[in-house]
Amino acid sequence: MPTPNKAAAVAELTDAFQSSNAAVLTEYRGLTVAQLKTLRRSLGENAQYAVVKNTLTKIAANQAGITALDEHFAGPTAVAFITGDPVESAKSLRDFAKENPNLIIKAGVLDGKALSADDIKKLADLESREVLLSKLAGAFKGKQSQAASLFQALPSKFVRTAEALRVKLAEQGGAE
């Protein structure tokens, strides 16, 4: 029979898994409290980084419908529950892991799909959502301006052709 504290912890973790866009499991063995505080700050408001008990977190993940992470609940584990842009959080984790080799990214889940550590590193290499949207908007704007100049060129070419025809007819009519 689980204690009320453990049941509450499982319920809180289950809610965290369900309400987040992504979750990343890390091993934090060897990191100091100050380094963990720095990591939490670097993740910002888009993510919550929590040191967790493996057994309770595994139960919570299973209750949330996530079973792909079961094999990664070994050793000292912490979870980054990401509610904002997963790319930004993945970049923060990757950059922190480069500076602090004791942080090991184990695995993760994004929108219910399992991610390996390599997948998370690939996700970190992507540009942020805002940058991708601005590039897309720029591409659309470029195509619109090309279309506008094309549509504008047709009447202007017609006017130049009609003027050239009028001049030619006037020359022919004046030559007779």
Give me Rg for the CA atoms of the chain: 30
Report whether 9 contacts 53 (CB < 8 A): yes
Q: What values do phi and psi take at 108, rounded to 5?
A: -165, 180
pLDDT of residue 175: 55
- List the beta bridge partners of residue 22: 82, 110
User: Can you give the pTM of this predicted structure?
Assistant: 0.68
The more confident residue out of 18 and 128 is 18
Sign of CA dihedral 121, 122, 126, 128: negative
Whole-angstrom Cα distance, residue 32 to residue 40?
A: 12
Name the band, by pLDDT with cuts 50, 70 and 90, for residue 64: confident
| Token pair recorded at residue 38 | 């720095």
pLDDT of residue 45: 85
Specify the DSSP class assigned to residue 71.
G
The more confident residue out of 24 and 174 is 24
pLDDT tens digits for 92-149?
888 898 998 888 999 989 887 888 888 888 888 877 677 777 877 877 776 777 767 7
> Among candidates 40, 107, 101, which has minimal Cα distance to 77?
107
pLDDT of residue 137: 81
% the chain with pLDDT above 90: 2
- List the beta bridge partners of residue 25: 79, 107
Helix (H, G, I), strand (E, B) or coil at 29: coil
Whole-angstrom Cα distance, residue 106 to residue 117?
A: 5
pLDDT of residue 28: 87
Whole-angstrom Cα distance, residue 73 to residue 12?
A: 17
Taking residues 148-175, report their average pLDDT: 78
Report whether 47 contacts 96 (CB < 8 A): no
pLDDT of residue 174: 59
